[in-house]
Structure formats: structure tokens, C-alpha cells
Amino acid sequence: MCAGWVDVSRAELPSDLTDEQWALIEPLLPAQNRGGRPEKHSRRSTIDAILYVVRTGWSWRQLPADFPPWQTVYWYFTRWEDAKVTETTLASLREQLRVQQGRSPQPSAGIIDSQAVKGADTVGRESRGFEAAKRINGRKRFIVTDTSGLLIVVAVSDQPTRSSP
């Protein structure tokens, strides 16, 4: 751990990265900002906090106190999402795994699936579509995976869908 970082020891959570996972992800993160204020919290604890929010569905403000402050975690999350860090990390890890399996780094075939999801009453009608076949007013989620089930892309549509008669 670098000097100046405050990393409160805490009980390990199921959402935390293992040492092996961290070793794969750490080199894929953007370089630290060298011109400004030094980072106060370790990047690993920040990633663990992001994974905690993603996996539990809790709000940023509900992060347990033994993680970095929620404002810090959210700041990194938004910056990294804007920089497409998650997207490039997943692509890199997928390529590494495919090569490890003796396959080409880039998939040549994919599998697509979709799911209509009912919109909550609190979601405005202008941001929901209508799935006529299932009579669902909501959104449609699409995923594309390679033939091994490794994620390639996720898309959510609020456009109305048409079903065949």
C-alpha cells in the first residue's frame, strides 16, 4: 500500500475481489493522476465499494462506513464509466480468457437474447415502450455473448417493439 492511503481493515465481503482478480484488474485501470492531490484511498477498496453497490443494489449513500466515502467512490465510478473503463476491462479479460482456452481473442460468433421488463409505476411513460406479445409496458434488455457465454455487449431499449401477428 502506498504512503498516505487510508485503508481501514474490515471484514471481507462476498462482493470483494480476490487477490487473483485484483492482479488481473489493477493493470487495466487508468493511470493515477500525477499532477493533483494524491489518492487518499486504495483503488482496490474503491473497486470493492463499486462492486458492493452493483451487487447489492443499494444506493451510493448506503455504502458501509468501512468503505471509502460514498462521494469518493461515486466520483471514481462516474469518471471511469465516462472513460469506458468497465467496457475495455471486460473486453481485455474476455480476450485473455479466450486465449487461455486456446481460442482466437476475438469471437467469430455470438448469441443474442432479449427480455421484456415491466416498467415501474414511477418510471415515466415517455421512457417506456410496449411489448405487444407479452403486454408489457416497459423496456427491453438485450445481451450478446460469445459461444462460451462471455459477455460482449448489453443494450436497453425503451422503444416500442412490434410482434408478429
Mean pLDDT, the chain, integer: 82
Q: Is the pTM of this model over 0.85?
A: no
What average pLDDT does range 18-47 have in this prediction?
88
Longest dimension (CA), the chain: 66
Please, which residues have CB within 8 angstroms of residue 9's CB and are 6 or more apart in sequence? none
pLDDT of residue 69: 95
Q: Which residues contact 73 (CB under 8 A, 6 or more apart)?
A: 46, 49, 50, 53, 60, 63, 67
Extents of the domains making up the chain: 19-100, 110-157
- The pLDDT of 58-72, averaged and rounded, is 93
**Residue 39: per-residue pLDDT:** 83
Give residue 62's pLDDT. Answer: 93
pLDDT confidence of residue 1: 45
Question: 6 or 84: whose pLDDT is higher?
Answer: 84
Contacts of residue 86, Cβ cutoff 8 Å, sequence gap at least 6: 80
The stretch 29-48 carries a mean pLDDT of 86
Q: What percent of the chain has pLDDT over 70?
A: 76
> pLDDT tens digits for 83-141?
999 999 999 999 999 999 999 999 999 999 988 777 666 666 665 565 656 566 677 78
